[in-house]
Structure 1
């Protein structure tokens, strides 16, 4: 399947930006409630889009533990102030380890906003992945600083099912 980042309608992009910002605001509030150092909260700068089609693939634990590792990849993604209309083409590769159900999905569109998102290219990022009731949230941190929350469009019925909660690392590289 050949998917274009422009296949998402402008009203869907606007809804996803709002959903991403709401998830971001909730996480910032949670961090503030935990008395996290203010430098751990992303600062100013222009908000830029991060969007793309992501694949989530479970790999079985090899050590007999109940931990699940999910490989996260995006071969077609974009970062920039006008994404998805235009920006820097990037790929993403990462993984998260945690607990949950076996999951294999592909071509899930995710979108988020980050201050100066282009500065995230080529940097190893820390991830928190939350999957629940057809909803995926990928929390992206640079060091301890929350940068963005990538979210997927809500579908009824959902494109996938399963639950997962875990953390890991990932990197955007220029395509």
Structure 2
């Protein structure tokens, strides 16, 4: 997954109640949950970026405290698949509300009026609250697992509301694209 989809997924998961969001506390339980999702030790190992031997040790309880980076990865991967029905309900409820996006990203542009384009996007900081129609489209892209579509939706909003801003002439025909994302944080209001 890309940064946009990860941020959208995390925003949906924050809408779960603390009880709903509670995952297994032990490494053995968390890796066991991933085994149920993936079906094989090899798939779990690939997902976590560890060896199959390490996964087997976690499952047997022989290794209870993985290195911090791996423990964080295990938790992150479990949260992605945790209670998908509740996550879909939270996403459905959020589609009717605005979404706030805070990002530092590289934005490129092209203008059909002048024929100019940016070879590399320029890094810009944005914190914007998008109306519900954009929230719905972003969450649909997240549900479909389409990072490109999510970037296009955000670029479309910024193109209309920030770069064009009701301008006439050349600015009215600017097409914006997101070429890179440094960081992104999404909040479902």
**TM-score, with normalisation over the residues of structure 1?**
0.29
**Greater Cα radius of gyration, structure 1 or 2:** 2
More helix by share: 2
More strand by share: 1
Structure with more contact order per residue of length (Cα contacts < 8 Å, sep ≥ 6): 2
